[in-house]
Structure 1
């Protein structure tokens, strides 16, 4: 999975550094008075499933250093802590989880962003040679660090996302011939900057009456 989580991992690998005191303590210990963000996903199909929340915490206490590729100077930056939080299935195929705004711990972790969404877990109902592909959903940022690329739309109320997605079949005919089934919508991953929200509901729809297909070239 998931290309958003892979992006987080790439960021962490690029920022290879030695922190102020070595490897940071990534243990979370939310204080009793922390605010929680309640997350609810309505699974739209027997062939799909919500993926675990991809949560990124940030620490401005346990800093790290890296060498600038421009002039060789030393840059001090915040540390990141990426974790997965599984959702628990409830009645009516509602999946729920909650995320602490204050992660606490020795590094004073605070919530920076998380990804929520669904993906195909069974692709063979639309083709026996299909395997599940990429996921869809939303990235929700809770600080300026996560939304610094400027592509995040601000939201000031509890979220109720209701996107419609369609099957997207990608047939690969060069190299390893692996045909994938993904989901495709007007915006596969929404980018939202949240302010003072306590609830995120994601109720997507999957319309398999319309199928998008990409057929790759058979030769160069």
Structure 2
């Protein structure tokens, strides 16, 4: 996967793919019953240069289980089936985008909602550099069951959700293997991980401060003892071998 949200959404599916699968056909048709509950999602787009990406939704079925052969001892393992779909967000009232997801997916496999990922990404990056292209996404991943939150990194929350995380621009200048200059956003956490209960509404209202730009400058060629640099908005350089920019440092930074 090329972006972080898809990695988060599909990580469990990929984890369970180890070993050889036993060929089975699973009916992934969704048919929400008339009395299903819905999760209504609202995203406030913070900039003319960003756009909410489609909702990345995963359903789970314990009715239509799949079998695979373990790569360790050859035993047959039975596990749930997964059904990943994408739901486009609809623009309403200017910067407000909305979508909704059925809690009960229904169908012959009795699909149940397991996870939803939502958020924003740059749709146009040239306002901060003519050679820039849009980079990775930011947002929130919601786990609706224990299966989706099994890695233990999810924070449990109750009630409806109203989030307003702050993000800063992050320009990556990659030089080895071909020049690629991308513009992404980074926050305290690029993706919030929340384990939710019986919710009906999610509002995501991110804030962007483009007055503080952090840059990653790659090497033109591999040189022993030389490393890429992360340059902060005030011109200071992160310690060598730093992998990610320090959000708190940027957040507290006064830029002249």
Q: TM-score, normalised by structure 1?
A: 0.95
State the Cα distance separating 1:12 from its structure 2 match: 4.0
User: Which runs of no fewer than 5 residues in structure 2 stay unpaired?
Assistant: 223-256
**C-alpha distance in structure 2 between counterparts of 1:164 and 1:7, whole Å:** 20
Structure with higher RCO (Cα < 8 A, 6+ apart): 1
Mark the CA change 1:6 to 1:42 in structure 2 (over 3 Å): closer, same or farther. same
**C-alpha distance in structure 1 between counterparts of 2:44 and 2:11, whole Å:** 30
Question: What is the Cα-based RMSD across aligned positions, in Å?
Answer: 1.4
Mark the CA change 1:43 to 1:8 in structure 2 (over 3 Å): closer, same or farther. closer
**C-alpha distance in structure 1 between counterparts of 2:50 and 2:66, whole Å:** 39
Residue from 170, 179, 185 that aligns with 2:187: 185
Residue in 2 that maps onto 1:2: 3
Determine whether 1:111 maps to 2:113: yes
State the Cα distance separating 1:3 from its structure 2 match: 2.7
State which structure, 1 or 2, has the greater radius of gyration over its C-alpha atoms: 2
Mark the CA change 1:148 to 1:115 in structure 2 (over 3 Å): closer, same or farther. same
For residues 92-171 of structure 1, what are the structure 2 equivalents within 5 Å? 92-171=94-173
Residue in 2 that maps onto 1:57: 59
Runs of 4+ in structure 1 displaced over 6 angstroms?
A: none
Number of aligned residue pairs: give it: 218
**C-alpha distance in structure 2 between counterparts of 1:143 and 1:9, whole Å:** 15
Q: Deviations over 1:40-96 (max 9, x none)?
A: 000000000000000000000111111212222111000000000011100031000
Residue in 1 that maps onto 2:251: none
State the Cα distance separating 1:114 from its structure 2 match: 0.7
Residue in 1 that maps onto 2:92: 90
Q: Which structure carries more strand by proportion? A: 1
**C-alpha distance in structure 2 between counterparts of 1:61 and 1:2, whole Å:** 31
Mark the CA change 1:137 to 1:8 in structure 2 (over 3 Å): closer, same or farther. closer
Whether the 8 Å CA contact 2:9–2:56 is kept in 1: the answer is no
Whether the 8 Å CA contact 2:176–2:218 is kept in 1: the answer is yes
**C-alpha distance in structure 1 between counterparts of 2:92 and 2:202, whole Å:** 16
User: Which runs of no fewer than 5 residues in structure 1 stay unpaired?
Assistant: none
Residue in 1 that maps onto 2:221: 219
**C-alpha distance in structure 1 between counterparts of 2:21 and 2:153, whole Å:** 28
Whether the 8 Å CA contact 2:45–2:52 is kept in 1: the answer is yes
